[in-house]
A and B are shown apart, each in its own frame.
Chain A
């Protein structure tokens, strides 16, 4: 025994290669991923930056000219890209099969509504508002309005664009383009509120049921089932909302516009439920079992225990769950494109069509002219989304940590 012990030498520091390498790899991968996150934000924001830049440039004529030249090149390329017709032609037939037959009524109503809203608009713009409902007309109109837009000076547009950011009109492709973000913000807000009003109670109650009330076997079925919902691609949920839910809800409530923020909100709620459910469930399961026993031993019924002991103890986690759900709805593009009607309107009525920030990027990014004002504004929207989500997650993180610390340390 004594001889064995003497062999371990603690006086000399030993260099351990495997530890060193593992440590380095972990460290560099971590930094790489953090760098990626920062870079993504940086590039997104950089693309939106000219908006702010150009308004200053407009004061200096020389710079304005050079930038004008710089802009003209990509514009021409884009123009040629927009002109060739055969592809849109094919899509026309495709579009007829998928959406025209079912959504014809909607297209008409929403066209009319858009027309009423945007009274100062040229006729082409009205059709633009319908774009996602009817792909074909959008593409054709886009090509024409785009060629017109390029005739107008991009620099002037940029100068003008910054001023229109805080207006009520989102009309990016017209003779007089206006980039009012307010209807988009309002639309996103409406959708978020509706989806959370729908999803949060359902998800939280479902989580409460599985973690407090359900017998073990049922729990083992429900939990994975709801978590599977998270794996359904949002395009499928969107399709379901567009084809089935929209008609059903319209029959049920009898409102005029088939695709609106209500339908969209509920569809997005479906996407957010699994997230909220999973995190809430984890939070509830993390509540010490002794709380549950103590409450029952005091003569509380099960539901009293669930509401007055389990839920309060899990609040930080539930709060985080809802915030993450909101984050999901903020960024959700496909469902918004398919189910919300995509008309940028300012009303507070939940049964009006809306257009969300993310859907705007999704719908318009493919057709936008590279380097154009419109392009920059779309990236600005991207940056906004990024910042919102970042703030949400940050609040979720820090608030939860703060609350937990408070509870544990008992201050």
Chain B
């Protein structure tokens, strides 16, 4: 039986008075790729960011309803947000490596967790870079600044940096939207490999991409979850007319 890793129940999210998520209930299965699609401004990023409580950084945000990760309500008062974010990692739309060396970027997570053992760090860094399919490209210049990498390499480095913390869930917000087709296909391949070990939730603007890499697809529209099902079903025989219109490119 497939475990449900993430579950939301009647979730509402407001920016001040403005509702951004309207009654979203969804369960996301473990070790699968779940894609969130929908037109710009429909609340995909907002939903994603509430799964690791990055929305806490925005003062005006108010959340109602429940979000469970492994059946623990992550908006409970006693939740340790810092540890939650170690468990639920995130890759951003715009690659954002620190202005440090490649090695230090990947080692940052383990280091702040108190791991200062050099050989262990080396191991973690190499493994993470290999898992992120960028090891061969950077192994000779681990101590060069990460800012010298290309956009696609930077994004894979950011994925490696997230992997180094050893999360269980990886949230990705349009990770390939700023990349060229070759880098994009590399990232897609990578995501396909990563789902063996991680639960992946990915926001994408690109419907072909969602169709290629995801097991489940959720279609959002104006803050509502319109339809959520197996990707195959959504793309071949959606239940709702809005979904069909969006997928066939009639709007958005």
Contacts and interface: CB of A to CB of B under 8 A. Distances in A.
Chain B binds chain A? yes
A143 interface: no
Contacts of B111: 308
Interface in A203-253: 215-216
Contacts of B147: 407-410
B226 to A, nearest CB: 28
Contact of A407 (B85, B90, B99, B149): B99
B98 A299 contact: no
A288 interface: yes
A313 B104 CA distance: 13
A296 interface: yes
A411 B148 contact: yes
A288 B96 contact: yes
| Chain B CB within 10 Å, residue with most, of A299, A312, A409 | A299
A298 interface: yes
Contacts of B165: 298-299
B35 to A, nearest CB: 20
Nearest to B90: A297
The interface residues of chain A, by DSSP majority, are classed as: helix
Contact of A411 (B52, B145, B162): B145
A293 B96 contact: yes
B148 A293 contact: no
Interface string A246-280: 00000000000000000000000000000000000
B112 A298 contact: yes
A299 B96 contact: no
Contacts of B92: 290, 293-294, 297
A285 to B, nearest CB: 15
A298 B97 CA distance: 12
Nearest to A290: B96
B82 A294 contact: no
B98 A216 contact: no
Interface string B151-168: 000000010011001000
B120 interface: no
A16 to B, nearest CB: 40
B7 to A, nearest CB: 21
Given A308-B108, A407-B145, A296 B94 contact: no
A296 B108 CA distance: 11
A137 interface: no
A44 interface: no
B144 A290 contact: no
B108 A299 contact: no
Interface in A283-312: 288, 290-291, 293-301, 304, 308-309, 312
B146 interface: yes
Interface of B: 52, 54, 57, 59, 82-83, 85-86, 89-90, 92, 94, 96-100, 108-109, 111-113, 144-149, 158, 161-162, 165
21 contacts: A290-B92, A293-B92, A294-B92, A297-B52, A297-B90, A297-B162, A298-B108, A298-B161, A299-B83, A299-B85, A299-B86, A299-B112, A308-B108, A309-B108, A312-B99, A312-B100, A406-B145, A407-B145, A407-B147, A410-B147, A410-B148
Top 6 closest pairs, chain A to chain B, by CB: A410-B148, A299-B86, A410-B147, A290-B96, A410-B145, A297-B90
Given A297-B85, A298-B162, A411-B145, 4 more contacts: A296-B54, A299-B83, A301-B82, A312-B99
Interface of A: 215-216, 288, 290-291, 293-301, 304, 308-309, 312-313, 406-411
